[in-house]
Structure formats: C-alpha cells, structure tokens
C-alpha cells in the first residue's frame, strides 16, 4: 500500500501520524483527568445529598421523640398530682396533631389501671379498650380527628411488646394497620413510659404515614437520579422513582440490593457503582437514618445513573474532540501546502512522463524547467531530449503504414456492404417468420378464449331458462296468494257479521236479569210488611199474657222467616247486579272487537290482496325480462361459434406462412455464411497491418 503512494503523500502521512499521536496522548490525559474528576465529584455530591437528607429525616424523628418525651413527663406529673383526666389527655393529643401536620396519629396505651385505676368504669366504651383500659389513639380524618382504641385482641402487638421488654425507644418496620375502617401504611416511633420506680406503665406511639415520607423522598433528585428510604430489614419505606415499590422487599430487586441491605442494616455508609437489572450502571450512596439508643438502622440511598454523572463529561468530550479535529485539520492543510510546494517539480516530471507513456509527444516542456540547474531541472531536460527522438521515429513509421491500410480498407468496405445487405435480407425473413408464428399463436389463444366464452354463454343460457321457469312458478304462487287473501277477507267479514248478530241476541236475552231485580224489590217489600206484622203479633201476645205465649212463638218464627227472606232477596239482588255489570263489560268488549275487525282485520286483508296483485305483476315482468335475456344469449352463442370458425382459418393460414418464411430464412443464412468467410479472409490479411497501425497511433506528434 505504502509503495504505491507518492513521495508527497508519504511525507504528509508520516507528519500527520506523528501529530495525531501527539494529540491523542495530550487529549487522552486531559479527558482521563476530567473523567476522574466528574466521577469523584458525583460520588461526593451523592454522599452529601444522602447525608443531608438522612440527617434531615433523623432530625425530624428526634423531634418527634422529643414530643413523646415531653408528653410522657406531663402525664407522669398528672398522675403524681392525682389530676388524671382522660378527656383532657385526648384533647392534648389532638392539639399536638394540629401543631405537627406531618404526624398522622398519636397513641397513648397504658397498662391495665395504670392511668387512673378506673378501667372498670369505661368497659365497652368506644374510645377505650375492650376492658376499659385507657389506650386512646387519635388520628387525622380530613379536617377532623378520629379517636379509637389503640389495639384490640386481634392487633399485632410487636409495636407495644418490644419497648415494653427493652424499655427503649423503638421504631417499627413499615406496617399496614386498619384505622377508622381504612388500611393505612405507616411507621411508628414508640417511647416506653416508666413511673418513678422504673416500672413500665405503657407506651406513647407517634405514627408517620408512608405517604408523607414518600412525598419527601420524591423531592430528592441528585444529578437527575432519585433516592430510596429502606428499613433495616430491606423493606421500601419510600422510593422516588417507583411508588409501587413501597412496602415491598428491596432484596428481591437483585443480589446487588441484598449486598447493600447487609451493609446498611449495620449502620454502614456506602458509595459504590453497581449494575442494575436493566444492565445500566448506577452510583449507590447510602447514609444511615436512625435514632440514638435504638437499633433502627434505616438507610437513605441515593441512586444516580452513570450516564447522568457523565453528562457534563460527554459535553466536554465533544468540545475537546471538535477542537482537536479542527486543530488537526489546520495542521494537515499547512503541512500539505508546504510539501506540495517542495515536491511540485517532481510532480510535473511525473505527469509529463505519463503523457509520453500514453503516446502524447506533442506536449512541450515548460521553459522555466530549462532554466533550473538542480536535480529536478536536469531530469526534466533529459526527458525533453528523449521526447524529440521518439517523435522522429514514430513519424516515419506512421507515414509508411497509412498507404497499406488504405488499400485494405477499400476491400473490407466492399465485402462489408455485401454482408450487410445479406444480413438485412436474413433479418427481414426471420422477422416475417416470427411475426407469422406470433400471429398463429395469437389465433390459437383467441380460439381458446372463444371456447371459454362459448361455455360461459351456454351456462348463462341454461341459467336464463331456469330463471324463466322460476319466474313462471312465482307468477302462479302470486295468483294463488291473491285468491287465498280474497277468500280470507270475505270469511273475516262474514264471521264478524255473524258474531255481531249472535252477540246482540245474547245481550237481549240477558235483559231478563233486570226482571229478577224488580222481583227482589217486591220480596223485600213483603218481608218488611211481614216484619211489621210479626212485631204487632208479639205486642198482642204480650198483652194476652199466658194465653198469648203460643202466639208469641209463632210471631217470632214469622219474624225470623221474614228476616231470612230479606237477606236472601238482598243476596239475589247483589248477584243480579254483578251479572248485569258483567254483561255490560262483555257488551263493551264485543263492540271493541267488532270495531277492531272492521278497522284493522278487514283493512289488512285488503292490503294483503293488493300486495298479492302487485307480486303477480312483478312476477310477470321478471318472466318477460328473463325470456328476452334467454333469447339474446342464444343469439350471442351463434355469433361466437362463427367467430371460432374464422379464428381457426386464420391460425391455419398463419402456420403455413410461418413455415415458408422459415425456409427462406435458412437459405439466406447459408448465403450470409459464405459472405462472412470472404470477410474473415480479408480481415486476416489486414490484421497484421492493424497491429502496426495501433502501435503507431498512440503517439501524438
């Protein structure tokens, strides 16, 4: 590769390589220092961010612990002075919640009778324990406060039992509790309460909703990364990148998280570059979050993508590369210009020798090189002497060969003319033969297409005949449909008329029931008179004394008979009234039915008859159309048959013409072969002169 380069190119290449090597060495050192500085700066920033925010959270927790201690002292003083007041203490809890908006709830849980010794008095009270224990738990409920017992028999008591056993402040793992009917994820700072004798009397628990911590963590964005707050056991308390991770086990995110938790759970600080599941490299910087005198080692972990860390570095890298490229480009241009100027004479000699090698002897050498007395000048002057000698020799050879070439050109031209004419005849004959063959092929294709069309038309003809038969059947069915509809219409009218007559007769017959009503009225009048007669008989029997007792019995029986007759007559009257009402309803229904028959049924039958008539006319029209189409299809079939006969004759004639044209083309080809043999003999004689002419023709004198 290097051997093919010019001297100028070799000099430029060597100098450029030296400069590029120097540039790479210098800029690599600069970029490496910038890279290390960026990484160290990011690591220090991540540590500082983690530390500052961890201390901020720790400070908040310690403030909450202080609130619990102050509340503890106030309760101890309240107990000492004998001023225990449950309601007042609940109000204190509410005041503390009002003053500290970050706190979700405050629970004060005393041991049985440890507060005021009055637990029995408050048994089954909603705000206290199941046995009346003073364990109020005050939480936020919108703008109000909710109070309930801090625990029940079903509550997990780890938050209570652990500080009871250790008598130290305890911070719970993130847990979900049911508060006021809702599941709430929270963590609690639990402070044990001891009396002056050092005896455990209960706990104060101050609760943080994880949503509050989540909102604080989401604001932490170190260098485009995010932060996570993780408990000692590796449970996500908050995550600034994915809220769904809260309350899940961080160790399940990968082995690298397990290693981080193992270190941070012991209160260690870390700053490491770790590759995540997505194969992306992150800077993890962890700082402990804990309360003094507890073993709660939470960790605030800042996670910064390496690509964000190196964003400024990549910007500097692009700038440095652009500057280096421009500087290198300028140096290459300067070196190229200098080397080109120095080697300009050699380049001219090289170009002129190429002209001589290509046969161009007419180009004269520039006068300025005859005035040069250095090595380049002497080379150019010797090259001019060689050019003059070659021009003289080539001129004499060229003049001798021109005469011989002219003689052979005349012979070749005559034979070429003869060959051209024979070729024209042969080509024309071959084209004629090919055309006849194509015509025959086209005729055969037309014949095949005509057969397909004939079959299609025959099929259409058969379908048309079927359609004609079908249309006749439709016409017959339409006629029958019309007849049936007319007969049904007449039957409906007759039935309606007969029904109307019979109904009116039945109504007239039912009027006899009205006579029953008048008869019952007469019976009621008779019973009324009978009652009056029985009453008079009873009075007379009473006046008669013992002699009238038998008559009094008869009077009572007559009275009972009259009363029974009255009741029976009234029942008959009620029944007759019911019958008359039913008859009236039947009459109304019958009249509605007759009106429906006259308005709807008879009208529908008439429309049905008209539809049958229209159906009949449409069937007749379809029959006529199909009949015309069938006749047209038969005419088309006859025409296609004639076309097929004509195309067959054309194909036969085309095949015969193609055979004759092929014979003519073969004879012409034989003549052309003989003519080509004569031309080959002439060319063979001229070939040697052409070689000589070719050698001489490359030179321009």
Buried b (16+ CB within 10 A) or exposed e, 2-40: eeeeeebeebbeebeeeeeeeeeeebeeeeeebeeebbe
Say how far apart CA 676 and CA 682 lie, in whole Å.
Answer: 10
Nearest to 433 by CA among 650, 649, 660, 653: 660
Which alpha helices (DSSP H) does 150-235 contain, by range? 158-166, 210-218
Cα 125–Cα 131–Cα 137 angle in degrees, nearest 5: 60
Q: Does domain 390-694 have CATH number 1.10.287.950?
A: yes
Buried b (16+ CB within 10 A) or exposed e, 297-313: bbbbbbbbbbeebbeeb
pLDDT tens per residue across span 543-594? 777 766 666 776 677 777 767 777 776 777 777 677 667 767 767 766 776 6
Say how far apart CA 361 and CA 352 lie, in whole Å.
Answer: 10
Ranges of each domain in the chain:
51-312, 390-694
Q: CA 293 → CA 62, 158, 166, distances in Å?
A: 11, 18, 11
Give percent above pLDDT 70 in the chain: 68
pLDDT tens per residue across span 53-108? 888 888 888 888 899 989 999 888 888 888 889 899 999 999 999 999 889 999 99
Confidence (pLDDT) at 503: 66
Q: Do domains 51-312 and 390-694 have the same CATH topology?
A: no
169-174's contacts with Cβ under 8 Å and 24+ in sequence apart are 169/65, 169/291, 169/293, 169/294, 170/294, 170/296, 171/61, 171/291, 171/294, 171/296, 171/298, 173/231, 173/232, 173/233, 173/235, 174/210, 174/231, 174/235, 174/236, 174/237, 174/246, 174/247
Buried b (16+ CB within 10 A) or exposed e, 60-93: bbbebbebbeebbeebeebbeeeebebeebbebb
CB-based contact 108:93 (threshold 8 Å): yes
Q: CA 664 → CA 93, 533, 668, 676, distances in Å?
A: 124, 155, 6, 19
Q: Given phi > 0 = left and psi -120 to 50 = alpha, else beta, which region is 234?
A: left
pLDDT tens per residue across span 391-434? 777 777 667 666 655 655 665 665 567 567 656 656 665 665 67
Overall fold of domain 51-312: Beta-Lactamase (3.30.450)
Residue 137, strand partner residues = 107, 148
Q: Which of 146-160, 185-199, 503-517, 539-553 has the lowest mean pLDDT?
A: 503-517
Confidence (pLDDT) at 116: 87
Say how far apart CA 125 and CA 114 lie, in whole Å.
Answer: 17
Confidence (pLDDT) at 21: 84
Confidence (pLDDT) at 34: 81
> Highest mean pLDDT range out of 170-184, 293-307, 430-444, 583-597?
170-184
Say how far apart CA 528 and CA 429 lie, in whole Å.
Answer: 143
In this predicted structure, the answer to whether residue 222 has a pLDDT above a threshold of 80 is yes
Q: For 473-517, give the secondary structure using H, E and C.
A: HHHHHHHHHHHHHHHHHHHHHHHHHHHHHHHHHHHHHHCCHHHHH
Give percent above pLDDT 90 in the chain: 10
Residue with more model confidence, 193 or 317: 193
CB-based contact 247:256 (threshold 8 Å): no
């Amino acid at each position: 590769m290097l051997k093919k380069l010019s001297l100028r190119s070799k000099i430029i290449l060597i100098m450029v390589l030296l400069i590029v090597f120097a540039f790479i060495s210098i800029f690599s050192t600069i970029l490496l220092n910038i890279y290390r500085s960026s990484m160290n700066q990011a690591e220090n920033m991540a540590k500082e961010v983690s530390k500052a925010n961890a201390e901020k959270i720790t400070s908040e927790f310690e403030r909450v612990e202080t609130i619990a201690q102050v509340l503890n002292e106030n309760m101890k003083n309240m107990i000492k002075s004998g001023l225990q007041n449950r309601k007042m203490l609940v109000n204190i809890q509410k005041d503390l919640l009002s003053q500290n908006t970050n706190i979700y709830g405050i629970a004060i849980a005393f041991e049985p009778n440890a507060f005021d010794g009055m637990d029995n008095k408050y048994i089954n009270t909603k705000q206290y324990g199941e046995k009346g224990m003073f364990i109020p738990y005050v939480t936020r409920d919108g703008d109000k406060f909710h109070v309930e017992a801090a625990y029940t028999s079903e509550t997990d008591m780890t938050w209570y039992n652990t500080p009871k056993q250790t008598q130290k402040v305890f911070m719970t793992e993130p847990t979900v509790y049911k508060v006021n009917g809702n599941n709430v994820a929270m963590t609690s700072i639990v402070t044990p309460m001891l009396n002056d004798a050092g005896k455990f009397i209960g706990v104060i628990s101050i609760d943080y909703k994880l949503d509050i911590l989540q909102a604080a963590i989401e604001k932490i964005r170190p260098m485009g990364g995010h932060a996570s707050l993780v408990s000692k056991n590796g449970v996500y308390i908050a995550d600034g990148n994915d809220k769904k991770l809260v309350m899940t086990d961080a160790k399940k995110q990968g082995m690298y998280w397990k290693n981080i938790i193992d270190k941070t759970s012991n209160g260690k600080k870390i700053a490491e570059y770790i590759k995540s599941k997505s194969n992306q490299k992150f800077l993890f910087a962890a700082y402990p979050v804990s309360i003094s005198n507890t073993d709660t080692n939470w960790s605030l972990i800042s996670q910064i993508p390496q690509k964000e860390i190196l964003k400024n570095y990549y910007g500097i890298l692009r700038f440095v590369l652009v500057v280096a490229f421009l500087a290198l480009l300028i140096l290459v241009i300067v070196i190229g210009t200098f080397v080109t100027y120095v080697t300009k004479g050699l380049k001219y000699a090289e170009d002129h020798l190429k002209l001589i090698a290509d046969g161009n002897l007419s180009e004269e050498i520039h006068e300025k090189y005859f005035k040069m007395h250095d090595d380049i000048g002497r080379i150019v002057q010797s090259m001019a002497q060689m050019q003059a000698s070659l021009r003289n020799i080539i001129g004499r050879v060229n003049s001798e060969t021109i005469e011989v070439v002219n003689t052979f050109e005349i012979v070749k031209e005559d034979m070429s003319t003869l060959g051209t004419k024979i070729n024209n005849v042969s080509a024309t004959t071959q084209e004629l033969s090919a055309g006849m063959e194509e015509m025959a092929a086209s005729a055969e294709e037309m014949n095949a297409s005509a057969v397909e069309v004939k079959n299609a038309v025959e099929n259409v003809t058969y379908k048309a005949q079927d359609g004609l038969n079908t249309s006749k059947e439709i016409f017959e069915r339409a006629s029958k449909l019309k007849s049936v509809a007319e007969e049904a219409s007449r039957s409906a009218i007759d039935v309606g008329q007969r029904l109307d007559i019979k109904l009116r007769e039945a109504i007239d017959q039912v009027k006899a029931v009205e006579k029953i009503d008048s008869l019952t009225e007469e019976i009621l009048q008779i019973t009324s008179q009978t009652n009056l007669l029985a009453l008079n008989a009873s009075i007379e029997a009473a006046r008669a004394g013992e002699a009238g007792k038998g008559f009094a019995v008869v009077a009572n029986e007559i009275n009972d008979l009259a009363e029974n007759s009255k009741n029976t007559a009234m029942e008959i009257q009620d029944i007759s009234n019911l019958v008359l009402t039913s008859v009236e309803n039947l009459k109304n229904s019958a009249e509605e039915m007759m009106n429906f028959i006259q308005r709807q049924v008879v009208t529908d039958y008439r429309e049905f008859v008209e539809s049958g008539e229209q159906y009949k006319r449409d069937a007749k029209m379809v029959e006529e159309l199909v009949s015309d189409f069938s006749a047209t299809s038969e005419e088309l079939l006859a025409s296609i048959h004639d076309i097929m006969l004509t195309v067959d004759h054309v194909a036969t004639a085309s095949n015969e013409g193609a055979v004759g044209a092929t014979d003519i083309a073969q004879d012409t080809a034989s003549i052309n072969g003989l003519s080509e043999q004569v031309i080959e003999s002439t060319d063979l004689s001229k070939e040697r002169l052409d070689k000589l002419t070719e050698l001489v023709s490359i030179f321009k004198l």
